[in-house]
Every structure is written in C-alpha cells, then in structure tokens.
Amino acid sequence: MICGFDYGTSNCALGIVQNSRVRLVNLEDDHAFLPSTLYALDRDLITESVIRGIGDIVSRQAFAELRQNAIARAKRARYEEDIAEDDQTLFFGRAAFNEYFQWPEEGYFVKSPKSFLGGAGLRAEHIHFFEDVVTVMMQNIKQRAEKSLGAEITHTVIGRPVNFQGLDAEVSNRQALDILTTAGKRAGFKEIEFLYEPIAAGLDFEVTLTENKTVLVVDIGGGTTDCAMVRMGPEYLAKEDRRNDFLAHTGERVGGNDLDIQIAGKHFMPLFGMDSLLKTGLPMPTQLYWNAITTNDVSAIATFNSMETRHQINQLRLDAAQPKLIERFLRMREEKHNYHIVRSAEETKIALSDTSQYLASLDYIETDLSASISREELTKSIFSPLEKMLNLMTLAIEQAGEKPDLIYITGGSAKSPVIREAIQHRLGDIPVLDGDHFGSVAAGLTVWSDRIFR
C-alpha cells in the first residue's frame, strides 16, 4: 500500500487514498492523530525495540553490530530492573503522557523528537540515538496502521519543513533527512520520498478551490513555521509538473513549541523564583529557568539535568530572598516535571483560543498552585516568536513578487485568534481561511503519494 506520513513535531498522522478519497488512518483507538511522544522504562530499551522490529534478517544483523553496546546495556537493565521479556517497555502517544505524568522520575520520556533533528554539533552517538527514537516511533505507527488496514504499507511520502534548523540550513537539512530516511527504511518502508509540509497543506486545500488563486500557505507546526506562495486551482490540479507553480517558500525553526515555552517562562516560572531577588537585592539569574523549559533544545535540557545545575540551584536557595520558591524549583527538577509544565502551557494556549481568561493548574507540583492568564497577557508573552512567524510570511510574499489572493493557515497553533489577528494586522485586508489544523499536511502528503507512486 501507499501512504502519506506526517511525522510531526506535536502529532503524527498517516493517510491513504481509498475509493478516490483521502482517509486518515486511526492510530490510537478512534484518534487519527498520535502525539509525538515516547516513554521507555529504560533508555536502551528503545534500541532493543528497534532491532526487534526490523523484519529483514540482514538489516537486523547489521543493526545489531552497530548497536551492540546499547543492546548489551538493555539486557543488563532488564536484569537489574527485573523486566520480563513479555513486559511492555515502551509507550507511545497518549499512553506515553500517562506514564510520564504518573512516573516522571522512573523512565525515559521523549517529546517532539523531530525538533532535535538537524541540530548543530551533535556527536555520532546522539545521531544514532535520534535514529533509534525516530525508528521505533515509525515502526509503531506503521504497525498500528497496517493492523487497522489489514495490509502492508510499502511506499510513503514523508513531510519535511523548509528548514529543520536555522544555522547552516543545508547541513542541518541533510542530517535530518538522512535520519528520517534511515529510520523509515528500518521501519520497513521500501520507497520513501519527501515533500515540503506547506506545499502538502496547499495540495489538500487546492481540491476545494473552484477558481484559480495565488495562495499564501502558512503551516504553523509544533517545531517550525513554513510558508509557501503557490498558484493553485482547477487549471493546476491535474498538472504533473508543479515546479513553476510554487513561487516562493520560507521556513524557520519557530513553532507552537516556542509559543508554549514563552508562556511557561513568562507565566509559570515566576512561581519557581524567576524574577525574584537575591538577598543582595540583585535579580535572580534566569538562564536556569529557560533551560528547564526549553524542551526542544537538547543542550539546554542536558545542562538543566546536570549536577552543576543542581549545585547552582542549591546555592541560589541559600542566597535567595524567597528561598521557598527556589525549593519548589529544585523539587520540580528532581521530580522531572519540566515537560509537564510546558504541556500545561500548551493547554493554556489552547484554552485561550476559546476564552479570554484561563486558570492554569499546576497541582502536580503543589496543591492549589496555579496561574491566571488572560488572552492579552498571552499575546504579550509570545510577541518574539510570533514576530518571527510574521516575518516569514512577509518574506515569502516579497520573494514571490506578488500579493496573495488569500491566506490559508494550518497547524495546531494556527487555531489561536491571537495569531490570526496578528496575520491580518501585518498583511492587511487579505482573506484568511482555516484548514484542517491537524490533518491538512497528512492529507496533502497522501494526495502526493498517490500521484507519484501509482
């Protein structure tokens, strides 16, 4: 079978063409979208699961040689932690969140691994581990889809952002695509192609047009924002070669996760001592707090989890004018609730799409701990990443050399009225239409897969 595969920063989705129509396959009960999360009882059990999921014996043996140290550690972890061979060791999607919320200190939790791809300065062992994380997630999604469909999936088109990372984009993109290709092959896909995500979103939208338009497609994903200026409509729909119809595309590593991080930093971190004072009257250092919640940055999280940071927080507790806040911060770190805090920020962002005021509960940290946030306050706190998103839209229009007839926005964060108002204020009186905020990329990838593989 042929599929379109949206391996997203926040959610994953997989689509097929059935009876000439695109259908997204349910991946978790009746949900077509599986959160991009993984919880493992032990980190090395991820690599062990990869090798167990590789069907081809030659590929399995080659992988075993590459990862022999990690596989040996996995066996030791099973012995030391008394994990039986038939015990479930990995959890995905909502189940991964549930395990992490229940046992944050016990296992290994990964959220949005796509946001790490293409990172600069990664050592070989980091790249190998990211390959394994992506592979085991792809294996899981492919197996879920095949079980639902009752057939093997062999060909896929996977979505990709315009740029995975901002620095040295060419090197970054090559590294990320190599990881995705390697993972896809190990997951069992025989043929893999890639398509820009904003173009995929545009293809899904194009089938609804009754006349030709020049469209600015804006895809605000979890990890990146991508824009494409595309000529589309009935006259273009059946064309085999669409290269001349894509007038411009821009993209940067700024997305919904960055909005969540800003919300967490500006509204939640003061509850842990950020913006408080030392006994000397000097302000509390803030980098510790940003490291805690910058969950899309490998180096920031590694620094936050280091012993050096633990010692630094302990010293700040002695020097702080409000030591109880620092004690709360230290407890949050020890109990590994930083991902939970960013998740609460995401829930706040979603809630403020429908209401003007929201009370965010942090009772998993401490009973009755909460923060009240208004939509106006949220707007101020996300100004910096939102400005980057708006600049990408403006640049795409400038590169195309013409004004769009309409703007088509998709991606989870695009649901926010704050973002919609900012777009209309920046770009003027151009109609703004909403797509399927979570499914348009997967649907477009499916359309393209059917076109190139049939």
Read off the pLDDT of residues 25-56 as tens digits, 9 standing for 90 and up.
999 999 999 999 999 999 999 999 999 999 98
* 357 vs 205, more confident: 357
Interatomic CA distance for residues 152 and 158, integer angstroms: 17
Residue with tokens 């140290």: 69
Q: Give the mean model confidence (pLDDT) for residues 186-211.
A: 92
Residue 318 pLDDT grade (very low, low, confident, very high; cuts 50, 70, 90): very high
Asked if residue 241 has pLDDT above 90, the reply is: no
**Maximum CA extent, the chain:** 71
Asked if residue 123 has pLDDT above 90, the reply is: no
Residue with tokens 């600049």: 391
Interatomic CA distance for residues 91 and 109, integer angstroms: 9
**Per-residue pLDDT at 16:** 97
Residue 167 pLDDT grade (very low, low, confident, very high; cuts 50, 70, 90): low
* 429 vs 265, more confident: 265
Asked if residue 238 has pLDDT above 80, the reply is: no
**Per-residue pLDDT at 304:** 96
CA neighbours closer than 13 Å in the CB half-sphere of residue 336: 16
Given a contact cutoff of 8 angstroms between Cβ atoms, the answer to whether 201 and 188 are in contact is no
CB atoms within 10 A of CB 308: 8
Asked if residue 437 has pLDDT above 80, the reply is: no
Asked if residue 144 has pLDDT above 90, the reply is: yes
Given a contact cutoff of 8 angstroms between Cβ atoms, the answer to whether 183 and 214 are in contact is no
Indicate the average pLDDT of the chain.
Answer: 94
Q: Is 135 left (phi over 0), alpha (psi -120 to 50) or beta?
A: alpha
pLDDT > 90 in the chain, percent = 82
**Per-residue pLDDT at 166:** 65
Interatomic CA distance for residues 94 and 315, integer angstroms: 37
Asked if residue 88 has pLDDT above 90, the reply is: yes
Q: Give the mean model confidence (pLDDT) for residues 126-153.
A: 96
As given in the structure block, the two tokens for residue 408 are 């088509």
Residue 61 pLDDT grade (very low, low, confident, very high; cuts 50, 70, 90): very high
- Same fold for the domain at 2-189 and the one at 212-254+384-453? yes
Residue with tokens 């998103």: 389
Looking at domain 212-254+384-453, its CATH superfamily turns out to be ATPase, nucleotide binding domain (3.30.420.40)
Q: Give the mean model confidence (pLDDT) for residues 150-155.
A: 97
Using CA atoms of 265, 266, 267, 269 in order, give the dihedral in degrees to the nearest 10: 40
Contacts of 202 (CB under 8 A, 6+ apart): 215, 217, 228, 230, 232, 408, 444
As given in the structure block, the two tokens for residue 40 are 């493992």
- In the chain, where are the structural domains located? 2-189, 212-254+384-453, 257-382
**Per-residue pLDDT at 320:** 97
Residue 435 pLDDT grade (very low, low, confident, very high; cuts 50, 70, 90): confident
**Per-residue pLDDT at 259:** 96
Residue 204 pLDDT grade (very low, low, confident, very high; cuts 50, 70, 90): confident
Residue 169 pLDDT grade (very low, low, confident, very high; cuts 50, 70, 90): confident
Closest CA to 381 of 433, 416, 329: 416
Class of domain 2-189: alpha beta
**Per-residue pLDDT at 142:** 98
As given in the structure block, the two tokens for residue 315 are 């010293």
